[in-house]
Structure 1
Amino acid sequence: MAHAFPLAARPLNGLYKASAALSILLLLAGPLRAQAPASVVGYGWARNAVNTAVFRKNSLATFKNEQFTAFYDSAGYLVLAKRTLPRGPWQVQKTAYRGHVEDAHNDISLMVDGAGYLHIAYDHHNNRLHYNRGLRPGALALGPMLPMTGQQEDKVSDPEFHRFPSGDLAFLYREGGSGNGNLVMNRYDVKNQRWTRLHTVLIDGQGQRNAYWQAAVDEQGTFHISWVWRETPDVATNHDLAYARSRDGGRTRQKSTGEAYQLPITEATAEYALRIPQKSELINQTSMCGDAQGRPYIATYWRPAGRAAVPVPAGVPRRQALAGQPSVAAHPTPFSLSGGGTEKIPIARPQVLVRTLAGKTAVYVVFRDAERGDKASLATCPDLARPQWAVQDFPTAGLGNWEPTYDTERWKQTKVLNLFIQRTGQGDGETLEGLPPARIGAGVDAVSAASRR
């Protein structure tokens, strides 16, 4: 069982911050190195969390020295932007495409392939695929809406891209509804510029449930995926935490023991990192990552019996390692995740990152908590073998119902953490809050000393 301790505003050694609007400079270890403030990209729709949902994969994506982002503007139009790193001005281009922004599920996911082409998927909640590709490498101009394989593309939800070290892409999505859907996986061949179907059903809900997953490709190219099951559209029916990995680009899957899965994976055949019953306030669609040795880590939260909801980062290579890791923090005020649709919850789903240096694995968890003024916050454990956590708030104003998303590719390449920042609202059950368009800061930086060596 995880062990919790209260969030504490303790100083974090080696942590520094700049107080300019939307500018954060953090040095996670080692000496401070100055860096210019992040620039504002534009102003976006803010009446719900469609621009800042944690399951955006990705909100920011770097290829070589260019970084791309996307958001919905105040009228729901898809807007693209890019800059030259580290501090170039943002080039912004409004597209002719529009999303149903009143539903916070309809986020924008993007990635850049190994040839420099931008890929975009947007406006999905159990509807047909909306997918476009850049007209040329580095271009913000999009070509026409395209199919991928043309199969199982009429009931798409939760699409996300991942880039392999080869430059090829993976594309995951749910085919079907909440409580009754399957996980589909495509792969893009960057050389032939073609999508193929790897798995029509990778994780099978068997018509009775669906998997809500989080996935990551680590620096070695291992493709990790973990998930909770949901029995109905009610969030309260989330349960258990399962795991699988692939070391051949997603073609086959293994358990943490190395045992091969027979695909598709079902509730009966899944390997479980933790058994968590229904009605435990177990959140879905959080985050995971892998370290330099290919070991996976998950950040999630649930309510152990008789206690408040607890966000937890943990390693998954063995069940004992996952179950034995301590919590980052406890959220002392109880809350409920019961009901359908997007919920207004007081603590954001977290993002987890790891860095290995001098034989030590440091873990960083980014989150937002109403009890900390709805600011972006960072929990740091310098050495997971000696788990001691310190929590520090980023110097942002309250961000409403913001959830953290970041540039996974830049972190892999340089250990620079770029966050997508926007203050957003969110009402329960897809209701809206009366907020005006809010400015978007992309490129809010937290810099690891590993990038300076």
Structure 2
Amino acid sequence: MKFPVPKLLTLLCLLLALVSCRSEKSTLMQVGTGWAQNSVNTTIFRKNSVVSDQNRQYAAYYDESGHVVIAHRNLDSEDWTAERTQLTGNMKDAHNSICIAVDGDGFLHIAWDHHNTSLHYAKSTKPGSLEFAEIPSMIGSEEHSVTYPEFYSIAGGDLIFLYRDGGSGRGNLVMNRYHTASKTWSRVQTKLIDGENKRNSYWQAYVDPNSESIYLSWTWRETWDVSTNHDICFAKSSDGGKSWVRSDGTPYVLPITAATAEYAALIPQNSELINQTSMCSDSDGNPYIASYWTPAGSKVPQFHLVHYDGYAWHNSQITKRETPFSLSGTGTKKIPISRPQILADSTGDTTKAYLIFRDIERDNRPSMAYCDDISSPEWKFKDLAEIDTDQWEPSYDLPLWSREKKLALFIQRTAQGDGYASEGQEKTVELPPQPVYVLQWQDSR
């Protein structure tokens, strides 16, 4: 049978569309409804907003009353059940995010409501339970000025807990470890990175759940003003955080300071460099660090990838944005782009990389830049959902990605005021509670 040319072209387009659809799997699941007048539910430093073990997945967020809600589902089902806990927090401060983790025995751990405040930590009363017992301390020291708490899974089912002790411009990085065998916490580092009472590090980590390897990257900030962010630094541990080395294996003398840190990228102050880098590693242990800043000679911030190939650091620009903005000021900022997440997949013949972000130039949708071979990077772009997320930043289920290379993104439309309304009181925006989703995506090419 012969088809007319127009009909043949139509069939070819349909065939290409079907092939494209089969190359990836995407599911958008509604979880519940959450507070949305600032970005506390969707800030970048939530580790984790969504987390899973082999059978069950959990998501956490504040509702409009300030209660912590824990939602859960079986991984073989798309049906979520949301339950309000007895835990409450000041959701009007966008720093006070909720972080959750599941240990190797199935206990759920939660840290919430921190911005230079005493430690708020709880643990489920039994594996799989959503009833929590609040625990006043992990170690008993350096727990009275906590900010940016983050959980990470490590080999054997233990957990790593990182947080800043101190304030903006004068803080230190603390590291604890939870031992599943004894069900106790121990201090690994009291002052891993020392701000010397002059500055503080804004860090992110990647922890290999199958080994004792921890990768750490950070920017420095000299004062409370965001514009004083500068440079990207790096350190690695192969023994669960006890000792640390540079990318070439040279050991650090702890604590790490501005004078002794390894600089993966030199970026001056007033470059619109955002705090909190994002990072991961490939199967060879090579680190990838993502952030955004304004390149020299430009006025427009761009997303960048800084990565180490085993021999040297490389810095490449991912985007060609056209919208300028300034980060100068204090408090949580209203910014036309999100901080990004970077993921790597080395299961195929090449190492693929995925940058997850939001950009006003893409109508604030949850978007992805992807590269099929990081050794010769060519970035392509796509939207993962047609949702205006306003001031959303991406966070995802780290254990699920590590196990199955499935991306489970926490998504919610959230607003954000710019800076402080008054001393100690961040601005919020009138916005009714918004649906909370988990978007699951998998590249099956």
The TM-score, its normalising length taken from structure 2, stands at 0.91
8 Å contact from structure 2 (residues 217, 233) kept in 1: yes
Q: Is the 8 A contact 1:219 1:292 kept in 2?
A: no
1:116 and 2:111 aligned: no
User: Could you say which residue in structure 2 is the equivalent of 1:224?
Assistant: 215
Tell me which moved more, 293-302 or 91-100: 91-100
Q: Does residue 1:197 correspond to 2:187, yes or no?
A: yes
1:438 correspondence with 2:424: no
Shift of 1:363: 0.3
Unaligned runs of 5+ in 1: 1-13, 18-25
Whole-angstrom CA distance in 1 between matches of 2:372 and 2:196: 42
Shift of 1:88: 4.4
Q: 1:277 aligns with which of 263, 268, 276?
A: 268
Structure 1 residues 350, 16: closer, same or farther in 2, change over 3 A? farther
> What amino acid does structure 2 have at the position aligned with 1:446?
W
Partner of 1:5: none
- Determine which structure has greater relative contact order: mean sequence separation of CA pairs < 8 Å that are 6+ residues apart, divided by chain length: 1
Q: Which moved more, 1:368-377 or 1:214-223?
A: 214-223
Provide the C-alpha distance between the structure 1 equivalents of 2:17 and 2:319, rounded to a whole number of angstroms. 21
Q: Hey, what does 1:421 align to over in structure 2?
A: 411
Aligned pairs for 1:41-440 (under 5 A) are: 41-218=31-208, 220-221=210-211, 222-307=213-298, 308-316=300-308, 320-323=312-315, 326-429=316-419, 430-440=426-436
CA contact (8 A) 1:313 1:365 kept: no
SS at match of 1:83: strand
Query: In structure 2, how many angstroms separate the alpha carbons of the residues matched to 1:156 and 1:15?
Result: 52
* Aligned-residue offset at 1:321: 3.1
Length, aligned pairs only: 422
CA distance in 2, matches of 1:168, 1:317: 29
Contact 1:114–1:166, Cα closer than 8 Å, also in 2: yes
Give me the whole-angstrom Cα distance separating, in 1, the residues matched to 2:309 and 2:233. Answer: 12
Which whole-Å CA distance do the structure 1 matches of 2:375 and 2:228 have between them?
34
Distance across 2 between alignment mates of 1:121 and 1:390: 36
> How far apart, in 2, do the equivalents of 1:339 and 1:119 lie?
34
Kept after mapping to 2: 8 A contact 1:38/1:87: no
Offset, 1:357: 3.3
Instruction: Tell me which amino acid in the other structure corresponds to 1:53.
Output: T
Give me the whole-angstrom Cα distance separating, in 2, the residues matched to 1:38 and 1:260: 45
Preserved CA contact (<8 Å) 2:24 2:444: no
**Do the aligned residues in 1 keep the contact of 2:217 with 2:277 (CA within 8 Å)?**
no
Distance 1:49 1:130 in 2: 20
- What is the root-mean-square deviation of aligned Cα atoms in Å? 1.8
Cα distance, 1:89 vs. partner? 2.2
Correspondence for 2:442 = 447
Q: Deviations over 1:345-365 (max 9, x none)?
A: 001000110001343110000
In structure 2, relative to structure 1, the CA distance for the partners of 1:54 and 1:394 (3 Å cut) is: same
Task: Work out whether residues 220 and 292 of structure 1, in 8 Å CA contact, stay in contact via their aligned partners in 2.
Answer: no
Which residue in the other structure is 1:7 paired with? none
- In 1, Cα distance between the equivalents of 2:318 and 2:148? 27
The residue matched to 2:401 in structure 1 has which SS?
helix
What SS does the aligned partner of 1:409 have? helix
Structure 2 spans left out of the alignment, 5+ residues: 1-14, 420-425
